Each structure stands twice: as structure tokens, then as C-alpha cells.
């Protein structure tokens, strides 16, 4: 979301481009196209606004951040990165950008880009369950492969989709603490989740794998210093690649002092397709999609939720 004018940036996975919509739902601009050249994407994922004039999109396969002029959509540059970029939050800190990327060569889960320089620092060690999985069968690391990160000027919080732990570290990746977020409504994560996934006898179907644990899908900063954590409890109808993934979404908030949390508020939406979401101006925005079988098209809404902690019951994190 562009907080300057309230417009939305949506990654179009089918057409490999970024769409910018005004708050009234009208298309204002698009950025990029399919391909392997400047300003082109293969398997686009995350999109975000950099400063007040640059739109950035990341695509799998090429490991390039593509930069565009926000106003006319023209390509204005690119920045290489390593790893598999996550969709769980991007933070602007002191003019730079911090984003999640599971980088196996560097064994890290976050990157700090000192924009406009080309310098990219890879920080926060890959969690031990992922190290064990990669050294063995690797199914856990492959299935739960996305990270989340949120940063302040001196510290950052990060985590991986397959774990309950959230790691507090310095901006250069030195671990300071590990936060364990309680679960009251969502499925949670079994303590032996890596061993469970990497045992070929554990699951009889892909559906069982999706339903084995909650997955972390985002860390976001609120204006009072607290942190929003979003989890999905997903299910699979049918079999991949044609099956449909749906997800119950739960929102938790970590207090500014990072000692307590308000957990597992369910986020209501149609839940006919897996959602995409972000947080801006202390507000949750969720892309809700529903297949209109009668017309053979896809109906899409951006749902807006006010984040209110007034009725919270705060639980200990340690």
C-alpha cells in the first residue's frame, strides 16, 4: 500500500506484473511484464513502494528486484539478491529496506538493502530446524520455505513460516532473544515439526501436510512500536497443482516491550481462496478472492480492518 495516497499495489501472478489501484477500485497504473529483460518478471512475488517515487517488484527464478517509476511505470533499474524472497513484510529503515529472504548459501533469513547503494547484507542465521532438514530429507525446509521480517532502526524481528519462534536480533543479525508466541485458537506448531515433515511415514496425503501446523505469514510494525503477527491455518481441497488452498487467518499483536502478546484474533473473510495481506497505518488490508462460477471470472475485494487492542487479554511470551 502507498501511504501517500492510499492506493494499492497488487502482484499479478498470472500476468507477471504489478497493478496499482486507487481506493475507489479503478486501475491507475501497471508495472512490468513477463520476460527476462529489464523491468520483466518470471514468477512475481512481493511488491512494495520505496520512498515516494519508486515501485519495487521481486520475482522468483531471476533473483532481481525490478525498480519502476511510480508515476509512469517505466523501468528505472534493478538490484540482485540471493535466496527465496518471502511475502511476510518489508520495512523501510533509515532510507534502506529490510525484507525476508531464505538464503541457503549465506544460511540467513533476512536481507538489508542499503538503497540507493548496491550493498546487500544478509542477516539472522537460518534456524536450526531448517539446518537439520536441509542436511536430511529437506521436505520441511522446502514446504515451509517463506520468511517474515519487521525492522526498527536498531533491531528486527524475524521468523520462518514453519516455526512458532520469532527471533529478536540486532540489525546485523546478532540474536538477542527468542519469543515464543502462545496459541489459543490457531493450530499452533508441534514441537517436533521438522522431524514430522521429514519422516516419509508421517503423512498420507498433501492435505495432511497442509493441516499439520499453523504457518506464519507476516510481521508488521504498528505506530506504537507493537508488532502484528499473521498466521494461516491452511487446508487443501483436491491435489496440487490443481487443488485449491484455503486459509483461516489469525492476527496476534506483540506488545512494544516484547514481553506479552494478544493472540489469535480470527480475521473474517470469504475464505474461498488463500488471501494476501499487508498492514499500513495501523490497518490490516486483505485481498479476498472468490470464483464466480456462473460468469467464469474472479471477484476480488480489498477488505480493510481496524486493528484495536482495547479488548485484549495479554499473555506472557516467555
β-sheet bridge partners, residue 179:
166
| Chain centroid offset of residue 140 CA | 18
- Examine residue 270 and state whether it is found in any structural domain, yes or no: yes
Residues 216 and 203 occupy one common structural domain:
yes
- The CATH number for 63's domain is 2.40.10.480
Last residue of a domain, one of 50, 80, 110: 80
- For the entire predicted model, the pTM comes to 0.93
Residues 171 and 110 occupy one common structural domain:
yes
Last residue of a domain, one of 30, 52, 80: 80
Residue-wise pLDDT tens digits, 204-246? 999 999 999 999 999 999 999 999 999 999 999 988 877 889 9
Predicted local confidence at residue 105, as pLDDT: 84
Among 235, 290, 270, 230, residue whose Cα is nearest residue 254: 230
- Examine residue 286 and state whether it is found in any structural domain, yes or no: no
Strands 33-34 and 40-41: parallel
List of residues 6+ apart from 164 with CB closer than 8 A: 180, 181, 183, 188, 189, 214, 216
Predicted local confidence at residue 221, as pLDDT: 94
Vertex 279 angle, CA 274 and 280, to 5°: 145
Residue found under cell 488490508:
285
Give the residue numbers spanning the domain of 185: 85-276+307-316
Last residue of a domain, one of 80, 107, 133: 80
Distance CA 186, CA 184 (A): 6
Give the Cβ contact number of residue 251 at 10 Å: 21
Residues 95 and 4 occupy one common structural domain:
no
Residues 175 and 239 occupy one common structural domain:
yes
Residues 223 and 96 occupy one common structural domain:
yes
Helix (DSSP H) and strand (DSSP E) numbers for the chain: 4, 26
C-alpha cell at 283: 490497518
- Examine residue 300 and state whether it is found in any structural domain, yes or no: no
Total number of domains in the chain: 2
Residues 179 and 125 occupy one common structural domain:
yes
pLDDT tens track, the chain, 318 positions: 787 888 889 888 888 999 998 888 888 999 999 999 999 998 888 899 888 889 999 877 788 999 999 999 999 999 999 988 887 789 988 878 999 999 988 899 999 998 888 889 999 999 999 999 999 999 999 999 999 999 999 999 999 999 999 999 999 899 999 999 999 999 999 999 999 999 999 999 999 999 999 999 999 999 999 999 999 999 999 888 778 899 999 999 999 999 999 999 999 999 998 899 999 889 999 999 887 777 777 888 889 999 999 889 999 997
Amino acid at each position: 500500500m502507498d501511504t501517500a495516497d492510499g492506493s494499492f499495489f497488487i502482484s499479478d501472478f498470472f500476468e507477471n506484473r504489478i497493478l496499482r489501484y486507487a481506493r475507489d477500485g479503478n486501475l491507475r497504473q501497471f508495472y512490468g511484464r513477463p520476460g527476462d529483460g529489464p523491468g520483466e518478471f518470471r514468477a512475481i512475488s512481493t511488491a512494495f513502494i520505496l520512498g515516494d517515487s519508486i515501485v519495487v517488484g521481486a520475482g522468483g527464478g531471476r533473483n532481481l528486484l525490478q525498480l519502476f517509476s511510480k508515476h509512469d511505470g517505466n523501468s528505472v533499474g534493478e538490484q540482485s539478491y540471493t535466496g527465496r524472497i518471502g511475502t511476510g513484510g518489508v520495512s523501510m529503515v533509515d532510507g534502506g529496506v529490510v525484507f525476508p529472504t531464505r538464503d541457503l548459501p549465506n544460511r540467513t533469513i533476512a536481507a538489508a538493502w542499503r538503497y540507493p547503494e548496491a550493498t546487500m547484507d544478509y542477516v539472522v542465521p537460518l534456524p536450526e530446524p531448517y539446518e537439520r532438514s536441509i542436511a536430511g530429507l529437506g521436505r520441511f525446509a522446502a514446504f515451509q520455505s517463506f520468511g517474515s521480517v519487521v525492522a526498527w532502526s536498531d533491531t528486527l524481528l524475524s521468523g520462518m513460516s514453519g516455526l512458532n519462534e520469532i527471533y529478536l536480533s540486532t540489525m546485523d543479525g546478532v540474536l538477542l532473544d527468542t519469543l515464543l508466541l502462545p496459541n489459543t485458537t490457531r493450530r499452533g506448531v508441534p514441537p517436533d515439526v521438522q522431524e514430522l515433515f521429514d519422516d516419509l511415514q508421517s503423512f498420507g496425503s498433501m492435505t495432511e501436510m497442509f493441516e499439520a501446523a499453523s504457518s506464519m505469514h507476516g510481521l508488521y510494525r504498528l505506530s506504537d512500536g507493537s508488532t502484528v503477527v499473521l498466521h494461516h491455518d491452511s487446508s487443501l481441497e483436491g491435489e496440487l497443482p490443481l487443488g485449491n488452498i484455503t486459509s483461516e487467518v489469525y492476527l496476534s499483536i506483540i506488545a512494544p516491550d516484547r514481553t506479552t502478546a494478544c493472540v489469535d484474533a480470527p480475521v473474517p473473510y470469504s475464505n474461498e481462496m488463500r488471501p494476501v495481506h499487508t498492514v499500513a497505518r495501523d490497518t490490516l488490508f486483505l485481498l479476498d478472492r472468490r470464483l464466480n462460477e456462473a460468469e467464469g471470472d474472479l471477484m476480488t475485494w480489498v477488505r480493510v480492518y481496524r486493528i484495536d487492542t482495547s479488548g485484549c487479554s495479554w499473555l506472557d511470551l516467555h
